Amino acid sequence: MSTKKNYNHIENDKQYKGLNVNKGIDQPETFNEDSIQRFLKSKRKKIKTAADYVDGILAGNITTLSQAVTLVESSKKEHQEVAREIITQCLPYSGKSLRIGITGVPGVGKSTFIESMGKHITRQGGKLAVLAIDPSSERSKGSILGDKTRMEELSSDSNAYIRPSPSAGSLGGVARKTRETIVLCEAAGFDTIFIETVGVGQSETMVHSMVDFFLLLMLSGAGDELQGIKRGIMEMADVITINKADGNNIDKAEMARVQYLNALHLFPPTESGWVPKVLTCSAFHHIGIDKIWETIQEYISLVKKNGYFQHKRNEQSKFWMYETINDHLKSDFYQNNALKELTASFEKKVLGQEMSSFVAALELLKNYYQSKKNDQ
């Protein structure tokens, strides 16, 4: 190699005859101050204020509504602050919808029913929002409403808005988010809100405490052992509907209807003055859907006349105030990092019979209050 020779460019060595290195050109000035500013501005996302969200929601803008619901569902502190502001500003525009809870075991036909009833409502000029309470959805990968194809027609209806259940959090957390989403949907002009839940757990009690009307979907046949639906849930229902009353199932559905009607007679009279009804329908073939809608209207006009509608809403508002306090206190306690280790060690002591459950709890609470005082 000729590295010892002092060539400016190795390419200029004689051995590379035919190769000529020319002087390059200067870098053209593609970036100046103006263009950089323009570039940065285009990249900078416009941060919406709470007022921007509220304007969009009140104008019925679905994209803005969805973004606001995402803020409601977010666990980030800064999102929650904006969400609270949005809700406060939307509150005066809320409350005018009909809130309907729909429950039933998986497979009973909830989404088929919601689609059929939903189309019935939007055809008459109504605007429908469908929400869900399903605290198990993370585990079960979205057993309800997770998959929008379940309500294909309704999903593409411009007068319907479908929002799957917030997937994370405790039942109380999911319920709070759903209740706040109701406020936003109402402010956006939705006059009917469906809240769907699987009728197997505790979630129906939550749904019941946020709706005006509660509909329980049931099946005929299936052993008639109340299909895993607890008595308490039947007691909450304003209407029970036997679904899949079609084909050779019609007679069985009618028999089930009479059976459930007899079962309902055993319950004490309702506070609303309404006598719960049992109906049949075929969500799949759109049979009996109009009758159910009429019955819901009948119920609403009765309870609006006798004052129960407002009474129930007031009770629900109170309930949610206390429920939120409980929820907040609980999460504040369990998220307190200073207490985590102590809680774990007390748990061990309780299990090892070294400490009673009550003493452990009181000690932990004492520590919690002390840590709050220290924070001040």
Give dist(CA 322, CA 313) in Å, integer: 15
Give dist(CA 130, CA 142) in Å, integer: 15
Comparing CB distances to ligand GDP, the nearer of 97 and 243 is 243
110 binds ligand GDP (CB under 6 A): yes
Region near ligand GDP per CB under 6 A, out of 100-108, 289-297, 311-319, 333-341: 100-108
- Measured from the CB of residue 50, what is the shortest distance to ligand GDP in angstroms? 35
Residue of the chain from 97, 103, 112, 178 that contacts ligand GDP (CB under 6 A) = 112
Comparing CB distances to ligand GDP, the nearer of 107 and 228 is 107
Give the dihedral of Cα atoms 165, 166, 167, 173; nearest 10 deg. Answer: -120
Residues numbered 57 to 86 that lie near ligand GDP (CB under 6 A) are none
Comparing CB distances to ligand GDP, the nearer of 248 and 353 is 248
Region near ligand GDP per CB under 6 A, out of 10-18, 156-164, 240-248, 368-376: 240-248
- Measured from the CB of residue 262, what is the shortest distance to ligand GDP in angstroms? 23
Rounded to the nearest 10 degrees, the angle between the axes of helix 50-58 and helix 171-187 is: 60
Looking up tokens 């008459």 gives 124
3-state SS class at 215:
strand
109 binds ligand GDP (CB under 6 A): yes
**DSSP β-bridge partners for residue 197:** 103, 133
Region near ligand GDP per CB under 6 A, out of 22-30, 276-284, 312-320, 359-367: 276-284
User: CA–CA distance from 18 to each of 11, 13, 14, 213, 288 (Å)?
Assistant: 10, 10, 9, 91, 91
- Give 3-state DSSP helix, strand, coil % of the chain, rounded to 5: 55, 10, 35
- Measured from the CB of residue 164, what is the shortest distance to ligand GDP in angstroms? 13
Residue of the chain from 167, 255, 284, 291 that contacts ligand GDP (CB under 6 A) = 284
The site that binds ligand GDP (CB under 6 A) totals a number of residues, namely 15
111 binds ligand GDP (CB under 6 A): yes
Residues numbered 125 to 164 that lie near ligand GDP (CB under 6 A) are 150
244 binds ligand GDP (CB under 6 A): yes
Give dist(CA 36, CA 39) in Å, integer: 5
Residue of the chain from 12, 38, 106, 301 that contacts ligand GDP (CB under 6 A) = 106
User: CA–CA distance from 31 to each of 45, 114, 262 (Å)?
Assistant: 21, 56, 81
120 binds ligand GDP (CB under 6 A): no
282 binds ligand GDP (CB under 6 A): yes
Region near ligand GDP per CB under 6 A, out of 4-12, 54-62, 105-113, 119-127: 105-113
3-state SS class at 364:
helix
Residue of the chain from 72, 82, 100, 108 that contacts ligand GDP (CB under 6 A) = 108
Q: Long-range contact list for 151-158, CB < 8 A, 24+ apart?
A: 151/111, 151/114, 151/115, 151/118, 152/115, 153/115, 153/119, 154/114, 154/115, 154/118, 154/119, 154/122, 154/128, 154/130, 157/118, 157/119, 157/122
272 binds ligand GDP (CB under 6 A): no
Site for ligand GDP, rule CB under 6 A: 104, 106-112, 150, 243-244, 246, 282-284
